[in-house]
């Protein structure tokens, strides 16, 4: 069972993705952002208008995450964010807790940024693709040089300044075969919170990763090896692919997994000119005549109620719902996944109404299979008389318990 939209007709906005600028200071080979040369910067008036509307609507989740992304957020100065955060804080009702998060290439991190991150408890994600040869193969400057040196300097400064952070590594064909090398790299740099992204086909970018039929097997082998070695090291605190899958897989029968990428306005995505979209944030900025460029209105000219109405009447929502219903009918992973990521259905299968994609196979099916595989062995061991691993009951295991199974 998957959660329905909270209180029919009344959205619950859980994540606001804001594009401070579409501009990015580098040019990764797999980048899908169409406007990465556009230097326009979000205005403080847009921040104020957006959060005035959102908080007045009563639709903000009690725990609201604001992600500054969809371009390189650090090309806009720290002072801009101080002012924006203060505006949001002034408008925020007491019933809503706001957490800010940045996803950055890390190259511009300095002590001013570290002070801002610490002061506001900002969640910081740094994109680094592993050791230098892996990273520099795809993450390049506009001139084609590698960016590793500056990114790792940013990471080292975060550590030195005691700013908590996680990394996101985009896996390529090469790094999929190198779980041990990746782990050794993270440990050598004191990186203990790790997320993997699969190089996706999105927008104008077609990923080479999906060539060949055995990708599912290769990724499963990679993730199993990495997870077990990471747990054995005792030095990795968080592996998103496993740690976020556990509560979705091991939950009471009556509990629901929520998929906010298919709920109207559960993700409110706003570009630097105030244009509003929803569902997968990657849709923001892409062009499509059939879906009116995936836009639902502009926060300066439309109320949030009008934007919600446009969403409810949109062909985009109709087709996304058709895809979710098709998933519910046909996929045994539906209770964990909730119908997948619309952007990947569109770009891989050509339709929001599609079901299975390579992306969902890798991000939903593989982690679920690994957890169930480990759980079976855990149960089997206990049934054969082995002492249960220390920790919570085996019915709701932890990553450490599961990975300790031979
Ligand atoms: S795993 Fe794929 S096919 Fe299954 S519910 Fe999710 S998106 Fe649909």
Choose the weakest-confidence range: 103-112, 302-311, 393-402. Answer: 393-402
**Three-class DSSP category at 343:** helix
364 lines ligand 1 (CB under 6 A): yes
Residue pLDDT, tens place only, 324-358 = 999 999 999 999 999 999 999 999 899 999 999 98
Q: What is the pLDDT of residues 91-142, one digit of tens each?
A: 999 999 999 999 999 999 999 999 999 999 999 999 999 999 999 999 999 8
pLDDT (tens digit per residue) in 160-218: 999 999 999 999 889 999 999 999 999 999 999 999 998 765 555 555 555 554 889 99
Tokens representing 277 are 């979209």
Ligand 1 contact via 362 beta carbon (within 6 Å): no
Q: Is the pLDDT of residue 37 over 60?
A: yes
Residue 275, SS3 per DSSP: strand
Atom of ligand 1 nearest to the CA of 323: 8
State the pLDDT confidence band at 143, using cuts at 50, 70 and 90.
confident
Does the C-beta of 353 come closer than 6 Å to ligand 1? Answer: no
Q: What is the pLDDT of residue 302?
A: 97
Collapse the DSSP code of 207 into the 3-class scheme (helix H, G, I; strand E, B; otherwise coil) and give the result. Answer: coil
Give me 96's structure tokens: 């809503």
Q: How much distance in Å is there from the Cα of 109 to the middle of ligand 1?
A: 37
CATH superfamily placement of domain 13-249: Aldolase class I (3.20.20.70)
The pLDDT value given to residue 181: 97
- Three-state DSSP at 14 gives strand
Query: CB-side exposure of 155: number of CA atoms within 13 Å?
Result: 27
Q: pLDDT of 238-278, one tens digit each?
A: 999 999 999 999 988 777 778 999 999 999 999 999 999 99
Query: Could you tell me if the CB of 327 is within 6 A of ligand 1?
Result: yes
Angle at 248 between CA 104 and CA 268, to 5 degrees: 45
Query: Per-residue pLDDT averaged across 281-310, rounded?
Result: 95
- Is the shortest distance between the CB of 352 and ligand 1 below 6 Å? no
pLDDT of the residue at 1:
42
In the chain, % helix, strand, coil (3-state, to 5) comes to 45, 15, 40
Assigned token pair, 188: 């050598």
Q: How confident is the model at residue 2 (pLDDT cuts 50, 70, 90)?
A: very low
Query: Which residue is closest in CA terms to ligand 1's atom 1?
Result: 360
- Ligand 1 centroid to Cα of residue 328, in Å, is 8
Whole-number pLDDT of residue 18: 97
pLDDT of residue 180: 97
Instruction: Please report which confidence band the pLDDT of residue 389 belongs to, taking 50, 70 and 90 as the band edges.
Output: low
CA torsion sign, 337 to 166 to 203 to 11? positive
CA of 373 to the centre of ligand 1 (A): 19
Q: Determine whether the shortest distance from the Cβ of 340 to ligand 1 is under 6 A.
A: yes
Pairing relationship of beta strands 297-298 and 267-270 according to DSSP bridges: unpaired
Q: Is 335 in the pocket of ligand 1 (CB under 6 A)?
A: no
Report pLDDT for 25.
Answer: 81
Rounded percentage of the chain residues whose pLDDT exceeds 90:
74
**Is 90 exceeded by the pLDDT of residue 388?**
no
CA quadruple 369, 166, 206, 276: dihedral sign: positive
Using the predicted structure, report yes or no on whether residue 153 has a pLDDT greater than 50. Answer: yes
Instruction: Say if CB 279 and CB 11 are below 8 A apart.
Output: no
Q: Which atom of ligand 1 is closest in space to residue 364's alpha carbon?
A: 1
- In short, whether 346's Cβ falls inside 6 Å of ligand 1 is no
pLDDT of residue 325: 97
Ligand 1 in contact with 334 (CB < 6 A)? Answer: yes
Judge if the beta carbon of residue 148 lies within 6 A of ligand 1. Answer: no
What's residue 178's pLDDT?
96
Give span(s): CATH 3.20.20.70, the chain. 13-249
Q: How confident is the model at residue 398 (pLDDT cuts 50, 70, 90)?
A: confident
Pocket test for ligand 1, best of 1, 2, 260, 360 (most atoms within 8 A of CB): 360
Residue 207: what pLDDT?
A: 59
| pLDDT at 145 > cutoff 60 | yes
Distance 340 CA to ligand 1 centre (A): 5
8 A C-beta contact, residue 175 and residue 129: yes
pLDDT of residue 4: 41
- Atom in ligand 1 nearest the alpha carbon of residue 360: 2
pLDDT (average), residues 2-9:
49
């Amino acid at each position: 069972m998957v959660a329905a939209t909270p209180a029919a007709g009344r959205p619950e906005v859980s994540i606001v993705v804001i594009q401070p600028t579409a501009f990015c200071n580098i040019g990764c080979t797999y980048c899908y952002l169409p406007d990465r040369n556009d230097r326009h910067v979000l205005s403080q008036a847009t921040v104020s208008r957006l959060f005035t509307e959102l908080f007045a609507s009563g639709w903000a989740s009690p725990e609201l995450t604001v992600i500054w992304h969809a371009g390189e957020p650090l090309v806009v100065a720290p002072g801009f964010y101080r002012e924006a955060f203060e505006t949001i804080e002034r408008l925020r009702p007491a019933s809503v807790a706001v957490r800010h998060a940045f996803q950055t290439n890390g190259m511009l991190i300095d002590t001013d940024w570290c002070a801002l991150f610490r002061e506001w408890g900002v969640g910081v994600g740094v994109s680094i693709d592993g050791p230098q040869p892996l990273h520099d193969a795809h993450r390049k400057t506009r001139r084609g040089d590698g960016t590793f040196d500056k990114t790792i300097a940013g990471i080292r400064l975060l550590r030195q300044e005691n700013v908590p952070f996680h990394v996101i590594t985009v896996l390529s064909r090469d790094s999929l075969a190198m779980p041990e090398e990746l782990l050794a790299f993270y440990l050598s740099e004191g990186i203990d919170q790790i997320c993997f992204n699969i190089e996706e086909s999105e927008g104008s970018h077609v990923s080479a990763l999906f060539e060949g039929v055995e990708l599912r097997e290769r990724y499963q082998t990679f993730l199993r090896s990495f997870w077990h070695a990471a747990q054995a090291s005792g030095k990795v605190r968080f592996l998103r692919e496993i740690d976020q899958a556990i509560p979705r897989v091991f939950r009471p029968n009556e509990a629901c997994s929520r998929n906010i990428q298919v709920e109207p306005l559960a993700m409110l995505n706003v570009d630097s000119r105030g244009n509003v979209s929803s569902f997968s944030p990657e849709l923001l900025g892409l062009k499509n005549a059939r879906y009116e460029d995936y836009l639902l209105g502009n926060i300066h000219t439309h109320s949030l109620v009008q934007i919600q109405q446009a969403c409810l009447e949109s062909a985009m929502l109709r087709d996304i719902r058709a895809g979710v219903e098709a998933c519910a009918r046909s996929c045994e992973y539906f209770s964990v996944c909730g119908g997948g990521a619309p952007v990947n259905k569109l770009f891989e299968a050509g339709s929001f109404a599609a079901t299975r994609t390579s992306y969902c196979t890798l991000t939903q099916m593989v982690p679920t299979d690994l957890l169930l595989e480990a759980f079976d062995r855990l149960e089997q061991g206990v049934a054969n008389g082995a002492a249960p691993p220390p920790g919570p009951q085996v019915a709701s295991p932890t990553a450490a318990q599961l990975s300790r199974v031979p």
